[in-house]
Amino acid sequence: MNALLIYPEFPETYWSFKHALKFVGKRAAQPPLGLMTVAALLPSTWKKQLVDTNVERLRDRDLAWADVAMVSGMHIQRKALLAIVERCRARGLRTVVGGPITSSVPAAELKADHVVIGEAESLISGLARDLEEGTAKPVYQADERPAMATSPLPDLSLIKMHRYSTMAVQYSRGCPFNCEFCDIIEIYGRRPRTKAVAQVLAELDQLRAAGWREAVFIVDDNFIGNKARAKELCVALAEWRSQYKTSFDFNTEASLNLADDPELMQLMKDAGFISVFLGIETPDESGLIASNKLQNTRRSLLESVAKIQSYGMQVMGGFILGFDTDREDIFDRMVEFIQTSGIPIAMVGLLQAMPGTQLFRRLRGEGRILDAGDGDNTDVKLNFIPHMDAPRLVEGYRSVLKRIYSCEAYYERVKLYLSRTHPRHEMRTTRQRWLTWSNVRAFVTSIVRQGVFGRQRWSYWRFLAQAATRYRRCFGTAMTLAVMGYHFQVMTQKLSKAMDSARQPAESGAISLREIGRQTR
C-alpha cells in the first residue's frame, strides 16, 4: 500500500507565528508529530509520503501515487481538512481522518471513509490490516488510552526538517488538573502517562543525527504533570546535552505550580529549558475558582511568574477573557497584570466552549451554546452567550490586544523580562545561538522591516539601542522577541481592521458577534 499522510493548512492566527517565521526563512513553527508517529506505526512494507501543506503544496501526482490518504488535524484546521478530504474523494482515493479534531467534530461531519478517534498507538495495525483486506470500518476508537511505551520513534525521514523553526518531541500526555474549559483532559486524560527516558533520548539522537541543532519543543500537555518523572528526564537531558556539547534549547508547557518547586526549576534550567508556556488565564481569582483552575489560586500570580523567570526561563502566558465572573474592570486589570508580569508573549483569547468539555456541557445545560465553535480563541467568534454584554466583551478584548501589542508596551515587557533573567544563563545561550545564518538573516530582515519600513520604527530603534547597551548579554533573546513582537503587532492590526469594517448595529449582542466573526473569517 502507498499511504499519503497529509497535514492541512492552519489559518493565519496569533498562534501561526507566520509573520515572524518569514524573518528566519521558515514556513511553519512545528512539524506534524501526530502524522510522523502514525507513519512509524504503519506496516514497514507500506510506502509512505507526508505532505504538510503549511510548508509545501499538495500536488495531484501525490494523490495519484497513493492508495490511501491519511489526514490529521486540529479543530481549527477543519475547513482546510474538509477540502482535502473532498479533493481525495473526488479522485476516488480512500480517506482516513485522525488527530485532535476527531474529539471535537462528530465523525460523520468529517466526510472521510474512516475516522480514528483519539490516540492511535493500539489501533493502527488493525486499521492497516483492514485497509489491506478491504474491510475497514467507518470508525475506530480504543477502549483504553495507550501506554506511552507503545509510541514509536516518529518517522523523521518524511518531513522537510529545515522548513520548521522548532522540532517536536513528546514525553507525556495528560494533565492531573481539572480546569472546566480544558479539552486536554477529555482527550488525553487526567493521569499523566510518560515515555521512558530512553525513548526521548532516542528521539533526540535521531534529530541530532539528522543535523538538527536548533530548538526542540517538548510538546507535553503539562510537562510537570508528574513532577518526579519530569525531574528524571531533566537530569538525563542535562547529561545528554553535556555529552554532545549540543546547543539544543528546550521549550515546553507546564502548570503554574512549577513555581513551588525550586529543585525542578533548577533541573529544568540545567537541562536547557529556555521557555515555558503557562496557562495563567486571568488575574481575577473568582474567575480561576469558577473555572476550577485551583492550582492558580491562593498565591501571587506575579511572584510565581517572576520566580520562574529568575531561573532563566521565559514565561509565555495564556490568558482568557469572557468568564462569567468577568466585570467591566477586567480589561484594565488584564492589561496591568500582563504589563507588570514581564511576559512578552501573552496569548490572550476569548473563552471558547470546546465540544466535549465540562464547560460545553454546563453551557449547553444553561441554553447558552450558539454553535460548536471553530477551535480558534484568538479572534472574535464567541460560540456561547456570555454574561457580559457580547459586543462590550469583544470591544474590551480588542482594546486589551491593542494595548499590550502596541510597540511601547510590548518592548517594556521584553525589557522587564530581560532584566529578570539570570545573566550567566543568558550569556551562554546568546553566545551559542546568536551567530547562526538564520539569526543573522533575521537580524537584517528585522532592521529593514521594523527599523526602516515599520510604522513604529522609533520605538524599535530605541529598544534596539537599549538592547545593545543595557541588555547586551542577552541581545540574541532581545532580537528574537523583537521579531516575534512584529507578528503580534501585524495580527493585532489585521484583527482590529477586520472588526472595524465588520462593525454594524444589531438587535442582539450575540448575533452581532457572530456576524463580526463571519466577516472576519
* 407-420 vs 330-341: helix crossing angle, rounded to 10: 40
- Of residues 13, 194, 295, 477, which one binds ligand B12 by CB under 6 A? 13
Distance CA 230, CA 254 (A): 11
Q: Give the x/- contact pattern for ligand SF4 in 160-179, rule: CB under 6 A.
A: ---------------x-xxx
**Which residue shows C-alpha cell 454594524?**
504
| Residue 33 contact among ligand SF4, ligand B12, none, beta carbon within 5 to 8 Å by kind | ligand B12
Q: Give the x/- contact pattern for ligand B12 in 90-119, rule: CB under 6 A.
A: ------xxxxxx-xx-----------x--x
- Of residues 98, 279, 344, 517, which one binds ligand SF4 by CB under 6 A? 279
Distance CA 498, CA 504 (A): 12
Q: Does 378 bind ligand B12 (CB under 6 A)?
A: yes
> CB-hemisphere CA count at 13 Å for 389?
8
CB of 415 to ligand B12, least distance (A): 25
CB of 149 to ligand B12, least distance (A): 13
CB of 258 to ligand SF4, least distance (A): 11
Output 41 or 418, the one with its CB closest to ligand B12.
41
Q: Give the x/- contact pattern for ligand B12 in 240-259, rule: CB under 6 A.
A: --------------------
Distance CA 271, CA 275 (A): 12
Distance CA 382, CA 396 (A): 13
Q: Does 230 bind ligand SF4 (CB under 6 A)?
A: no
Part in contact with ligand B12 (CB under 6 A); list of ranges 64-72, 195-203, 233-241, 427-435: 64-72
| Residue 344 contact among ligand B12, ligand SF4, none, beta carbon within 5 to 8 Å by kind | none
The interface with ligand SF4 within residues 231-260 (CB under 6 A) comprises 255
User: Which residues is 94 bridged to in the sheet?
Assistant: 68
| Residue 99 contact among ligand SF4, ligand B12, none, beta carbon within 5 to 8 Å by kind | ligand B12
| Residue 103 contact among ligand SF4, ligand B12, none, beta carbon within 5 to 8 Å by kind | ligand B12
Output 352 or 489, the one with its CB closest to ligand B12.
352
Beta pairing class for 273-281 and 250-254:
parallel
- Residue type at position 85: V
> CB-hemisphere CA count at 13 Å for 262?
1
Output 182 or 382, the one with its CB closest to ligand SF4.
182
- Of residues 9, 121, 284, 326, which one binds ligand B12 by CB under 6 A? 121
Q: Which residue is nearest to ligand B12 (CB)?
A: 98
Enter the C-alpha cell of residue 136: 475497514
User: Which residues is 158 bridged to in the sheet?
Assistant: none
Q: Are 122 and 150 in contact (CB under 8 A)?
A: yes
Enter the C-alpha cell of residue 132: 489491506
- Cα dihedral 191/195/201/207 (nearest 10): -90
CB of 506 to ligand B12, least distance (A): 26
Part in contact with ligand B12 (CB under 6 A); list of ranges 8-16, 79-87, 291-299, 463-471: 8-16
Distance CA 54, CA 74 (A): 13
For Cα atoms 162, 167, 172, give the angle at the middle one, nearest 5 degrees.
Answer: 165
Contacts of 38 by beta carbon, 8 Å cutoff, 6+ apart: 5, 70, 72, 98, 120, 124
- Of residues 4, 8, 9, 16, which one binds ligand B12 by CB under 6 A? 16
CB of 190 to ligand SF4, least distance (A): 8
Distance CA 328, CA 335 (A): 13
CB of 99 to ligand SF4, least distance (A): 18
Q: Does 222 bind ligand SF4 (CB under 6 A)?
A: yes
Q: Does 296 bind ligand SF4 (CB under 6 A)?
A: no
The interface with ligand B12 within residues 66-95 (CB under 6 A) comprises 70-72, 74-76
Q: Are 249 and 272 in contact (CB under 8 A)?
A: yes
CB of 174 to ligand SF4, least distance (A): 8
For Cα atoms 127, 128, 134, give the angle at the middle one, nearest 5 degrees.
Answer: 85
CB of 292 to ligand SF4, least distance (A): 8
Distance CA 466, CA 447 (A): 15
Distance CA 162, CA 37 (A): 19
Q: Does 430 bind ligand SF4 (CB under 6 A)?
A: no
- Of residues 123, 184, 288, 401, which one binds ligand SF4 by CB under 6 A? 184
User: Which residues is 173 bridged to in the sheet?
Assistant: 193
Q: Does 51 bind ligand B12 (CB under 6 A)?
A: no
| Residue 317 contact among ligand B12, ligand SF4, none, beta carbon within 5 to 8 Å by kind | none
Output 181 or 410, the one with its CB closest to ligand SF4.
181
* 407-420 vs 475-502: helix crossing angle, rounded to 10: 150
- Of residues 21, 42, 101, 185, which one binds ligand SF4 by CB under 6 A? 185
Q: Does 46 bind ligand B12 (CB under 6 A)?
A: no
Which helix (H) or strand (E) covers residue 36, if one does?
helix 33-41
> CB-hemisphere CA count at 13 Å for 440?
3
The gap from C-alpha 1 to its chain's centroid, in whole angstroms, comes to 33
Enumerate binding residues for ligand B12 (CB under 6 A): 10, 13, 15-16, 29-30, 32-35, 37-38, 70-72, 74-76, 96-101, 103-104, 116, 119-121, 168, 170, 173, 183-184, 187-188, 219, 221, 349, 375-378
Question: Where on the chain is the footprint of ligand SF4 (CB under 6 A)?
Answer: 175, 177-179, 182, 184-185, 221-222, 255, 279
